[in-house]
Amino acid sequence: MSDEQATVAERFERSDEALRDWERRINAGEEVDVWDTTNAGIGIIKDLIKAYLEVLDRDWEGTEDDLLALWKVAVKKNPSLNTIRDNCRELIYYYNCVDMDRRDALPENAHKQAVRTARHVYLYLRTRAEEAGALEKYQGLGAG
């Protein structure tokens, strides 16, 4: 199911499942790379912000591939979303460190922290969506 066809509730469920899988793998002692967990975290958060922007009935066209640009759209007229700004920036920092071959600049256990950071954003946005009644509202309303 594509993002356009998934309901808000399905997108939150999909994100939760992906995070649970990463958490399971890490807790089982599987060696996972910070590049993989960071990219997964960024993808999950982008999808969650898009889902929340649907709840807010806000357009994000032109920003869909940029996590910080999506956050800026979400925080406009909704300053409480400043709460997740540092989480988004943290993941971008991890991404840039690996991309620039500067793994030495990463904190210890950055691979775990990337997943924890994405989980924090998930919990925050899910709570906001639940408070807005959006998860029930959108349940079963996929375009499929």
Residue 86 belongs to domain with CATH number = 1.20.120
pLDDT of amino acid 140: 45
Average pLDDT for residues 5-31, to the nearest whole number? 93
- Please give the average per-residue pLDDT across 125-136, as a whole number: 84
Ramachandran assignment for 5, one of left (phi > 0), alpha (psi -120 to 50 degrees), beta (any other): alpha
Domain count, the chain: 1
What confidence score (pLDDT) does residue 63 get?
A: 84
Q: How confident is the model at residue 7 (pLDDT cuts 50, 70, 90)?
A: confident
Whether residue 144 lies inside any domain: the answer is: no
Q: Would you say residue 1 has pLDDT above 80?
A: no
Residue 16 lies in a domain: yes
Q: What is the pLDDT of residue 142?
A: 39
Is 141 inside any structural domain?
A: no
Residue 96 lies in a domain: yes
Does this model's pTM top 0.75? My answer is yes
Which pLDDT belongs to residue 136? 66
- Predicted local distance difference test score (pLDDT) of residue 84: 94
Q: What is the pLDDT of residue 112?
A: 97
Domain residue limits at 86: 8-132
